[in-house]
Amino acid sequence: MRSLSILGSTGSIGLSTLDVVRQHPEQFTITGLAEGHDVGMLVKQIREFKPRLVSVRNADAAAELESLLGNDRPEIFHGLEGAATVAAADGADMVVSAIVGAAGLVPTISAIRAGKNIALANKETMVVAGRLVSDLAAKHKVAIIPVDSEHSAIYQSLLGHRHEDVLRLILTASGGPFLNTPAEDLRLVTPEQALKHPKWSMGAKITIDSATLMNKGLEVIEAHWLFDMPARKIGVVVHPQSIIHSMVEYIDGCVMAQLGMPDMRAPIAYAIAYPERCPSGIERLDLPKIGSMTFQEPDPGKFPCLRLAYESLDAGRTYPAVLNAANEIAVAAFLDKRIGFTDIADIVDKTMQEHEAYTPVELDEYLLADKWARERAKLLIEQA
């Protein structure tokens, strides 16, 4: 029996994780849950999975949860400290890190310092502080199993092979909803249009990142840290069918790939059951029914966020943290209809240009860069 704590239990990854757990009550149990936006959903999760402790976004949400549950309730915490408490709690063998954005960094580090293995769905943790997280994982002998479908595919395609035999990693991208939209029309894109992803069901922020290809850029940075690969050995190819989730090319010309229907329950099940496998409940792959798969190069002129991510990785230091923070602020502003779709990349670019980078060592130094970029991006949006 493997016990899990889930950070972001009411988000799309959290819900999919609990669906896999629901299918295998003899294999998984839940120790802790942390959520940020849906107390009502958390109440249902508590009653079904009976965690020992939970965390919500703030004191008001904690009071609401107490009143809804009455005396029959787990320990309730709140805020960033509450999420970190759930992450480090005794009794959990693995923590599913699925809080969206840089907010997941501190709780994930708390879990690592507590010796918990990590099922990582929060790519921003590695983008913001990849070196620190990697060093801490090695120090505490913690395994980080990726949940992103692309990194799960690479993880699986690397097993049994030598690192020095890898020629390159190939991340696949769906291309998002605007793959075939003329570049000149992108400035008129609305949030409602951008939220209609053609293949995946995800949260709002990740869906917008997919539309701008920033999500793929963040995944390039994450892959650099997870698999110890330089940027020049990490490529991106657009694959609209989203059947091949990513590939590894070896020096002998062989390419290993992982295929499956686009359903996050598959990489989640792989991560939480590793090194075993368990049924995930996804639709079976029917290649004759699919018929054909297509591939094309991404257009960096049309989707500059991908280029900006590569530039931040090449520049190193605090640039990836600034890229991520500015993007989070810009995406939120776009969803609020305060800036246009193409303004997202412009805000990120300007924020990076104004940043005086430094080499961070401690967590507070990474968080300082994140804070600076958020404040600067907000000011740039106000001035636009």
Global confidence as pTM: 0.95
Spatial contact of 115 and 138, defined as CB atoms under 8 Å apart = no
Q: What is the dihedral of CA 295, 126, 61, 192, to 10 degrees?
A: -20
DSSP letter, residue 89: -
pLDDT at 350: 98
pLDDT of residue 384: 77
* Separation CA 159–CA 148 (nearest Å): 17
DSSP 201-266: ---HHHHHHHHHTHHHHHHHHHHHHHHT--GGGEEEEE-TT--EEEEEEETTS-EEEEE--S-THH
Give the start-to-end residue ranges of the domains of the chain: 2-146
d(CA 323, CA 320): 5
pLDDT of residue 34: 97
Spans of the chain below 50 pLDDT? none
Whole-angstrom distance, CA of residue 307 vs CA of residue 51: 43
Token digits of residue 328: 């989070």
Cβ within 8 Å of residue 242, ≥6 positions away: 172, 174, 199, 200, 262
Q: For residues 269 and 280, give the distance between their C-alpha atoms in angstroms, rounded to a whole number.
A: 6
Q: Which fold has domain 2-146?
A: Rossmann fold (3.40.50)
